[in-house]
Amino acid sequence: MKKKITFLLAISMALLTITPAIGASAADNVKGNLFNENMIESINTIYPSLNEVDYYNASNTSSDSLEEKKCISKTLLIGRFDTSDAAGPKFAWSNTTIKANFVGTGISVNLKSSGDNWFNVIVDGVVQKPINVTSTTLCPIVLVSGLEKGKHTIELVKRTEASVGEAQFLGFQVSDGELLNPQKPSSKRILFIGDSITCGYGNEGTNPNESFTTKNENASFSYGALTAKLLGADPMTICWSGKGVLRNYGGSTTDVMPELYNQVLPSNKNLIWNPKKWVPQVVIVNLCTNDYSVGIPDKTTFTAAYSKFIDNIRSEYPKADIYCAIGPMLSGENLYSARDYISGIVTLKESSRDKKVHFIEFPQQDSSNGLGEDWHPSVKTHELMANQLAEKIKTDLGWKDYNRN
Protein backbone atom coordinates (compact mmCIF):
# COMPACT_ATOMS: atom_id res chain seq x y z
CA MET A 1 0.00 0.00 0.00
CA LYS A 2 2.81 2.41 0.87
CA LYS A 3 4.43 1.78 -2.51
CA LYS A 4 1.15 2.42 -4.31
CA ILE A 5 0.53 5.70 -2.48
CA THR A 6 4.08 6.88 -3.26
CA PHE A 7 3.60 6.06 -6.95
CA LEU A 8 0.26 7.92 -7.16
CA LEU A 9 1.74 10.93 -5.39
CA ALA A 10 4.68 10.99 -7.81
CA ILE A 11 2.41 10.84 -10.85
CA SER A 12 0.18 13.59 -9.46
CA MET A 13 3.15 15.87 -8.92
CA ALA A 14 4.46 15.15 -12.42
CA LEU A 15 1.09 15.86 -14.03
CA LEU A 16 0.84 19.16 -12.21
CA THR A 17 4.20 20.09 -13.68
CA ILE A 18 3.16 19.11 -17.21
CA THR A 19 0.17 21.44 -17.38
CA PRO A 20 2.04 24.68 -18.20
CA ALA A 21 4.33 22.97 -20.72
CA ILE A 22 1.77 21.08 -22.79
CA GLY A 23 -1.43 23.13 -22.39
CA ALA A 24 -4.59 22.77 -24.44
CA SER A 25 -3.46 25.41 -26.93
CA ALA A 26 -0.52 23.26 -28.03
CA ALA A 27 -2.79 20.32 -28.80
CA ASP A 28 -5.18 22.63 -30.66
CA ASN A 29 -2.39 23.61 -33.02
CA VAL A 30 -1.96 20.09 -34.38
CA LYS A 31 -3.71 20.06 -37.72
CA GLY A 32 -3.23 19.50 -41.44
CA ASN A 33 -0.37 17.09 -42.04
CA LEU A 34 0.44 16.84 -38.32
CA PHE A 35 -0.56 13.77 -36.33
CA ASN A 36 -2.80 14.19 -33.29
CA GLU A 37 -0.75 11.64 -31.40
CA ASN A 38 2.33 13.87 -31.63
CA MET A 39 1.38 16.15 -28.78
CA ILE A 40 0.34 13.18 -26.65
CA GLU A 41 3.64 11.44 -27.29
CA SER A 42 5.54 14.68 -26.67
CA ILE A 43 4.79 14.25 -22.97
CA ASN A 44 7.14 11.28 -23.06
CA THR A 45 9.81 13.44 -24.68
CA ILE A 46 9.67 16.20 -22.10
CA TYR A 47 8.98 13.96 -19.11
CA PRO A 48 10.43 10.50 -19.73
CA SER A 49 10.00 9.90 -15.98
CA LEU A 50 6.28 9.33 -16.47
CA ASN A 51 6.85 6.05 -18.24
CA GLU A 52 10.38 4.97 -17.42
CA VAL A 53 12.02 6.81 -14.51
CA ASP A 54 10.19 8.40 -11.59
CA TYR A 55 12.36 11.46 -10.98
CA TYR A 56 9.83 12.75 -8.45
CA ASN A 57 9.79 9.77 -6.10
CA ALA A 58 11.50 11.06 -2.99
CA SER A 59 11.62 7.79 -1.07
CA ASN A 60 15.15 6.60 -0.25
CA THR A 61 16.60 9.66 -2.03
CA SER A 62 18.80 12.38 -0.59
CA SER A 63 17.67 15.99 -0.95
CA ASP A 64 20.62 16.77 -3.27
CA SER A 65 19.91 13.92 -5.69
CA LEU A 66 16.18 14.70 -5.64
CA GLU A 67 16.94 18.28 -6.65
CA GLU A 68 19.08 17.03 -9.55
CA LYS A 69 16.24 14.80 -10.75
CA LYS A 70 13.78 17.68 -10.64
CA CYS A 71 16.23 19.73 -12.72
CA ILE A 72 16.48 16.95 -15.30
CA SER A 73 12.70 16.82 -15.55
CA LYS A 74 12.65 20.53 -16.49
CA THR A 75 14.36 19.89 -19.79
CA LEU A 76 13.19 19.16 -23.31
CA LEU A 77 14.97 16.05 -24.61
CA ILE A 78 15.13 15.72 -28.40
CA GLY A 79 16.43 12.43 -29.74
CA ARG A 80 16.79 8.93 -28.35
CA PHE A 81 17.50 8.60 -24.64
CA ASP A 82 17.86 5.64 -22.32
CA THR A 83 16.14 6.77 -19.12
CA SER A 84 16.53 3.53 -17.17
CA ASP A 85 19.25 5.05 -14.94
CA ALA A 86 17.64 7.29 -12.32
CA ALA A 87 20.82 9.41 -12.24
CA GLY A 88 20.07 10.80 -15.69
CA PRO A 89 19.33 9.92 -19.32
CA LYS A 90 22.01 8.37 -21.56
CA PHE A 91 22.36 9.09 -25.27
CA ALA A 92 24.74 8.55 -28.16
CA TRP A 93 23.29 9.47 -31.57
CA SER A 94 24.33 12.60 -33.46
CA ASN A 95 22.51 15.88 -32.89
CA THR A 96 20.80 14.66 -29.73
CA THR A 97 19.67 17.85 -28.00
CA ILE A 98 18.86 18.98 -24.47
CA LYS A 99 17.00 22.28 -24.09
CA ALA A 100 15.97 24.29 -21.05
CA ASN A 101 14.69 27.70 -20.02
CA PHE A 102 16.18 29.44 -16.99
CA VAL A 103 16.39 32.69 -15.13
CA GLY A 104 19.83 33.61 -13.83
CA THR A 105 23.28 34.91 -14.74
CA GLY A 106 24.85 31.66 -15.94
CA ILE A 107 24.43 27.93 -16.29
CA SER A 108 26.62 24.83 -15.95
CA VAL A 109 26.09 21.17 -16.81
CA ASN A 110 27.06 17.83 -15.33
CA LEU A 111 27.90 15.35 -18.08
CA LYS A 112 29.55 11.96 -18.28
CA SER A 113 31.16 10.78 -21.50
CA SER A 114 32.69 7.48 -22.55
CA GLY A 115 34.55 9.03 -25.48
CA ASP A 116 35.97 12.22 -26.98
CA ASN A 117 32.58 13.89 -27.41
CA TRP A 118 31.96 17.48 -28.46
CA PHE A 119 28.84 19.54 -27.80
CA ASN A 120 27.51 22.77 -29.21
CA VAL A 121 26.35 25.28 -26.63
CA ILE A 122 23.59 27.64 -27.76
CA VAL A 123 22.50 30.43 -25.39
CA ASP A 124 19.54 32.62 -26.31
CA GLY A 125 19.84 31.33 -29.88
CA VAL A 126 23.53 32.27 -30.21
CA VAL A 127 26.13 29.52 -30.74
CA GLN A 128 28.91 29.70 -28.15
CA LYS A 129 32.31 28.00 -28.06
CA PRO A 130 31.80 24.20 -28.16
CA ILE A 131 32.77 22.06 -25.20
CA ASN A 132 34.82 18.87 -25.26
CA VAL A 133 33.77 16.17 -22.76
CA THR A 134 35.82 13.02 -22.20
CA SER A 135 35.89 10.33 -19.53
CA THR A 136 38.25 12.50 -17.44
CA THR A 137 36.41 15.84 -17.72
CA LEU A 138 35.62 17.40 -14.36
CA CYS A 139 32.09 18.59 -13.62
CA PRO A 140 30.24 20.88 -13.44
CA ILE A 141 31.18 22.39 -16.80
CA VAL A 142 30.46 26.11 -17.14
CA LEU A 143 28.47 26.73 -20.32
CA VAL A 144 27.98 30.47 -19.96
CA SER A 145 28.44 33.10 -17.24
CA GLY A 146 28.09 36.82 -16.78
CA LEU A 147 24.65 37.06 -18.32
CA GLU A 148 22.27 39.84 -17.44
CA LYS A 149 19.92 38.37 -14.87
CA GLY A 150 16.69 37.47 -16.58
CA LYS A 151 15.11 34.74 -18.67
CA HIS A 152 17.39 32.78 -20.99
CA THR A 153 17.43 29.63 -23.09
CA ILE A 154 20.11 26.94 -23.27
CA GLU A 155 20.63 24.20 -25.85
CA LEU A 156 23.23 21.46 -25.58
CA VAL A 157 23.72 19.56 -28.85
CA LYS A 158 25.87 16.46 -29.41
CA ARG A 159 28.14 17.25 -32.34
CA THR A 160 29.92 13.91 -32.50
CA GLU A 161 28.47 10.65 -33.73
CA ALA A 162 27.51 7.50 -31.85
CA SER A 163 30.75 5.70 -32.69
CA VAL A 164 32.69 8.28 -30.63
CA GLY A 165 30.91 7.23 -27.43
CA GLU A 166 27.89 7.60 -25.19
CA ALA A 167 27.11 10.46 -22.85
CA GLN A 168 24.91 10.85 -19.77
CA PHE A 169 23.14 14.04 -18.78
CA LEU A 170 23.20 14.59 -15.00
CA GLY A 171 21.51 17.98 -14.86
CA PHE A 172 21.99 21.73 -15.23
CA GLN A 173 23.08 24.08 -12.45
CA VAL A 174 21.91 27.70 -12.70
CA SER A 175 23.87 30.62 -11.23
CA ASP A 176 21.79 33.16 -9.31
CA GLY A 177 18.52 31.66 -10.42
CA GLU A 178 16.64 28.52 -11.37
CA LEU A 179 15.33 26.42 -14.23
CA LEU A 180 11.90 27.31 -15.57
CA ASN A 181 9.31 25.10 -17.23
CA PRO A 182 10.67 23.79 -20.53
CA GLN A 183 9.51 24.93 -23.93
CA LYS A 184 7.09 22.70 -25.78
CA PRO A 185 8.43 20.48 -28.57
CA SER A 186 7.74 21.29 -32.19
CA SER A 187 4.70 19.64 -33.72
CA LYS A 188 6.90 18.99 -36.78
CA ARG A 189 9.25 16.03 -36.61
CA ILE A 190 11.84 14.75 -39.08
CA LEU A 191 13.80 11.51 -38.76
CA PHE A 192 17.16 11.41 -40.55
CA ILE A 193 18.86 8.07 -41.22
CA GLY A 194 22.29 8.03 -42.82
CA ASP A 195 26.04 7.58 -42.82
CA SER A 196 28.98 9.95 -42.39
CA ILE A 197 27.34 12.62 -44.55
CA THR A 198 24.35 12.83 -42.21
CA CYS A 199 26.74 12.81 -39.23
CA GLY A 200 28.50 15.93 -40.50
CA TYR A 201 31.78 14.02 -40.70
CA GLY A 202 34.68 16.43 -41.06
CA ASN A 203 32.39 19.27 -42.16
CA GLU A 204 34.34 21.88 -40.16
CA GLY A 205 37.65 20.66 -41.53
CA THR A 206 39.38 22.61 -44.32
CA ASN A 207 41.77 20.03 -45.75
CA PRO A 208 40.33 17.02 -47.60
CA ASN A 209 43.61 15.16 -47.13
CA GLU A 210 43.22 15.21 -43.34
CA SER A 211 41.63 12.22 -41.61
CA PHE A 212 38.72 12.34 -39.21
CA THR A 213 38.97 14.38 -36.02
CA THR A 214 36.17 14.61 -33.46
CA LYS A 215 36.54 18.37 -33.08
CA ASN A 216 35.70 18.96 -36.76
CA GLU A 217 32.54 16.85 -36.82
CA ASN A 218 29.51 19.06 -36.22
CA ALA A 219 26.18 17.27 -36.60
CA SER A 220 24.26 20.44 -35.81
CA PHE A 221 25.69 21.95 -39.00
CA SER A 222 24.86 18.92 -41.11
CA TYR A 223 22.17 19.11 -43.78
CA GLY A 224 19.68 17.29 -41.52
CA ALA A 225 19.92 19.63 -38.56
CA LEU A 226 19.96 22.66 -40.86
CA THR A 227 16.86 21.42 -42.70
CA ALA A 228 15.06 21.02 -39.39
CA LYS A 229 16.02 24.58 -38.38
CA LEU A 230 14.74 25.99 -41.67
CA LEU A 231 11.39 24.31 -41.10
CA GLY A 232 11.13 24.77 -37.34
CA ALA A 233 11.09 20.99 -36.84
CA ASP A 234 12.56 18.74 -34.17
CA PRO A 235 15.05 16.29 -35.69
CA MET A 236 16.04 12.78 -34.68
CA THR A 237 19.31 11.76 -36.32
CA ILE A 238 20.35 8.12 -36.59
CA CYS A 239 23.64 7.92 -38.44
CA TRP A 240 27.02 6.19 -38.32
CA SER A 241 30.02 6.80 -40.53
CA GLY A 242 30.88 4.00 -42.92
CA LYS A 243 27.49 2.27 -42.71
CA GLY A 244 25.48 1.11 -45.68
CA VAL A 245 22.25 -0.69 -46.45
CA LEU A 246 23.71 -3.93 -47.79
CA ARG A 247 27.39 -3.52 -46.95
CA ASN A 248 29.54 -1.03 -45.11
CA TYR A 249 32.63 0.86 -46.20
CA GLY A 250 35.20 -1.72 -47.20
CA GLY A 251 32.61 -4.41 -47.88
CA SER A 252 31.72 -5.64 -44.39
CA THR A 253 28.13 -6.86 -44.02
CA THR A 254 28.13 -6.82 -40.21
CA ASP A 255 26.09 -4.18 -38.37
CA VAL A 256 24.77 -2.42 -41.45
CA MET A 257 22.44 0.50 -40.76
CA PRO A 258 19.16 -1.47 -40.99
CA GLU A 259 20.49 -3.56 -38.08
CA LEU A 260 21.53 -0.56 -35.95
CA TYR A 261 18.58 1.63 -36.81
CA ASN A 262 16.22 0.58 -34.02
CA GLN A 263 18.69 0.76 -31.13
CA VAL A 264 18.45 3.42 -28.44
CA LEU A 265 22.17 3.12 -27.70
CA PRO A 266 24.25 1.49 -30.44
CA SER A 267 26.37 -0.30 -27.84
CA ASN A 268 23.33 -2.12 -26.45
CA LYS A 269 21.60 -4.39 -28.97
CA ASN A 270 18.99 -5.36 -26.40
CA LEU A 271 17.69 -1.83 -25.89
CA ILE A 272 15.26 -1.29 -28.75
CA TRP A 273 13.58 2.02 -29.56
CA ASN A 274 9.79 2.17 -29.40
CA PRO A 275 8.73 4.02 -32.58
CA LYS A 276 5.43 5.03 -31.01
CA LYS A 277 7.25 7.34 -28.58
CA TRP A 278 8.16 9.85 -31.29
CA VAL A 279 6.24 9.85 -34.57
CA PRO A 280 7.80 11.82 -37.46
CA GLN A 281 5.87 13.20 -40.40
CA VAL A 282 9.01 13.00 -42.55
CA VAL A 283 11.76 10.36 -42.78
CA ILE A 284 14.96 10.95 -44.79
CA VAL A 285 17.02 7.89 -45.76
CA ASN A 286 20.41 8.98 -47.11
CA LEU A 287 22.28 5.69 -47.48
CA CYS A 288 24.18 3.84 -50.22
CA THR A 289 27.47 5.75 -50.59
CA ASN A 290 29.32 3.11 -48.57
CA ASP A 291 27.60 0.28 -50.42
CA TYR A 292 29.59 1.45 -53.46
CA SER A 293 32.96 1.68 -51.70
CA VAL A 294 34.09 -1.67 -53.14
CA GLY A 295 32.30 -1.42 -56.46
CA ILE A 296 28.75 -1.46 -57.77
CA PRO A 297 26.59 -3.87 -55.74
CA ASP A 298 24.42 -6.50 -57.36
CA LYS A 299 21.18 -4.81 -58.35
CA THR A 300 18.81 -7.57 -57.22
CA THR A 301 20.50 -8.00 -53.84
CA PHE A 302 20.85 -4.29 -53.14
CA THR A 303 17.34 -3.32 -54.16
CA ALA A 304 15.88 -6.15 -52.10
CA ALA A 305 17.75 -4.97 -48.99
CA TYR A 306 16.92 -1.30 -49.56
CA SER A 307 13.26 -2.00 -50.31
CA LYS A 308 12.97 -4.14 -47.18
CA PHE A 309 14.38 -1.30 -45.08
CA ILE A 310 11.87 1.18 -46.53
CA ASP A 311 9.06 -1.31 -45.86
CA ASN A 312 10.22 -1.57 -42.25
CA ILE A 313 10.15 2.20 -41.85
CA ARG A 314 6.72 2.34 -43.48
CA SER A 315 5.37 -0.26 -41.04
CA GLU A 316 6.53 1.92 -38.14
CA TYR A 317 5.34 5.22 -39.59
CA PRO A 318 2.41 4.51 -41.94
CA LYS A 319 1.58 8.22 -42.48
CA ALA A 320 5.10 9.57 -42.97
CA ASP A 321 6.55 10.97 -46.18
CA ILE A 322 9.74 8.98 -46.83
CA TYR A 323 12.52 10.50 -48.92
CA CYS A 324 15.14 8.21 -50.48
CA ALA A 325 18.22 10.34 -51.07
CA ILE A 326 21.54 9.98 -52.86
CA GLY A 327 24.63 12.19 -53.11
CA PRO A 328 26.68 14.35 -52.89
CA MET A 329 29.83 12.15 -52.76
CA LEU A 330 29.03 9.62 -55.49
CA SER A 331 30.23 10.18 -59.04
CA GLY A 332 30.61 8.46 -62.39
CA GLU A 333 29.29 4.92 -62.79
CA ASN A 334 28.58 4.64 -59.06
CA LEU A 335 26.28 7.66 -59.22
CA TYR A 336 24.49 6.41 -62.33
CA SER A 337 23.95 3.03 -60.71
CA ALA A 338 22.71 4.42 -57.38
CA ARG A 339 20.33 6.74 -59.19
CA ASP A 340 18.97 3.85 -61.23
CA TYR A 341 18.61 1.49 -58.26
CA ILE A 342 17.00 3.87 -55.78
CA SER A 343 14.77 5.83 -58.16
CA GLY A 344 13.59 2.45 -59.43
CA ILE A 345 12.68 1.38 -55.91
CA VAL A 346 10.70 4.59 -55.43
CA THR A 347 8.87 4.02 -58.70
CA LEU A 348 7.91 0.51 -57.60
CA LYS A 349 6.62 1.83 -54.26
CA GLU A 350 4.55 4.43 -56.08
CA SER A 351 3.13 1.79 -58.41
CA SER A 352 2.08 -0.23 -55.37
CA ARG A 353 0.03 2.80 -54.23
CA ASP A 354 2.51 4.20 -51.72
CA LYS A 355 2.50 7.77 -52.99
CA LYS A 356 4.44 9.09 -50.01
CA VAL A 357 7.82 7.64 -50.97
CA HIS A 358 9.97 10.16 -52.84
CA PHE A 359 13.35 10.32 -54.55
CA ILE A 360 15.75 13.21 -54.06
CA GLU A 361 19.26 13.61 -55.43
CA PHE A 362 21.75 16.05 -53.91
CA PRO A 363 24.14 17.43 -56.55
CA GLN A 364 27.78 16.40 -56.45
CA GLN A 365 29.78 18.55 -54.10
CA ASP A 366 31.69 21.42 -55.67
CA SER A 367 35.25 21.95 -54.44
CA SER A 368 34.73 25.70 -54.75
CA ASN A 369 32.43 25.39 -51.72
CA GLY A 370 35.23 23.79 -49.73
CA LEU A 371 35.84 20.18 -48.76
CA GLY A 372 35.93 18.68 -45.29
CA GLU A 373 38.09 15.94 -43.88
CA ASP A 374 38.49 12.82 -46.05
CA TRP A 375 36.79 14.63 -48.95
CA HIS A 376 33.48 14.95 -47.11
CA PRO A 377 30.99 17.79 -47.63
CA SER A 378 31.81 21.16 -46.11
CA VAL A 379 29.40 23.20 -44.00
CA LYS A 380 28.63 25.24 -47.12
CA THR A 381 27.66 22.09 -49.04
CA HIS A 382 25.49 20.97 -46.14
CA GLU A 383 23.74 24.36 -46.25
CA LEU A 384 23.00 23.93 -49.96
CA MET A 385 21.66 20.43 -49.32
CA ALA A 386 19.46 21.71 -46.51
CA ASN A 387 18.00 24.46 -48.67
CA GLN A 388 17.17 21.95 -51.40
CA LEU A 389 15.60 19.45 -49.01
CA ALA A 390 13.62 22.07 -47.09
CA GLU A 391 12.13 23.41 -50.32
CA LYS A 392 11.13 19.90 -51.36
CA ILE A 393 9.44 19.21 -48.02
CA LYS A 394 7.65 22.56 -48.06
CA THR A 395 6.31 21.79 -51.53
CA ASP A 396 5.18 18.27 -50.67
CA LEU A 397 3.77 18.86 -47.19
CA GLY A 398 2.84 22.54 -47.25
CA TRP A 399 5.18 23.42 -44.38
CA LYS A 400 6.42 26.97 -43.95
CA ASP A 401 9.78 28.40 -42.87
CA TYR A 402 10.45 28.74 -39.15
CA ASN A 403 6.89 27.78 -38.21
CA ARG A 404 6.79 25.47 -35.22
CA ASN A 405 3.03 24.82 -35.33
The tens digit of pLDDT for each residue in 174-205 reads 999 999 999 999 999 999 999 999 999 999 99
Question: Is residue 190 within 8 Å of 232, Cβ to Cβ?
Answer: no
What pTM, to 2 d.p., does this model score? 0.84
Give the pLDDT confidence score for residue 18 in this predicted structure: 30
Paired residues of 151 in beta bridges: 103
Which range (60-74, 82-96, 108-122, 244-258) has the least confidence?
60-74
Question: Is residue 374 within 8 Å of 211, Cβ to Cβ?
Answer: yes
The SS3 of residue 252 is: coil
Report the pLDDT averaged over residues 271-298.
Answer: 98
Residues 127-155 pLDDT 10s: 999 999 999 999 999 999 999 999 999 99
**Pairing mode of beta strands 282-286, 189-194:** parallel
Residues 302-360 pLDDT 10s: 999 999 999 999 999 999 999 999 999 999 999 999 999 999 999 999 999 999 999 99
The SS3 of residue 69 is: helix
pLDDT of 297 above 60: yes
Picking from 231, 181, 295, 250, the residue whose alpha carbon sits closest to that of residue 33 is 231
Picking from 314, 331, 334, 332, the residue whose alpha carbon sits closest to that of residue 322 is 314
400 band by pLDDT with thresholds 50, 70 and 90: confident
Question: Is residue 174 within 8 Å of 142, Cβ to Cβ?
Answer: no
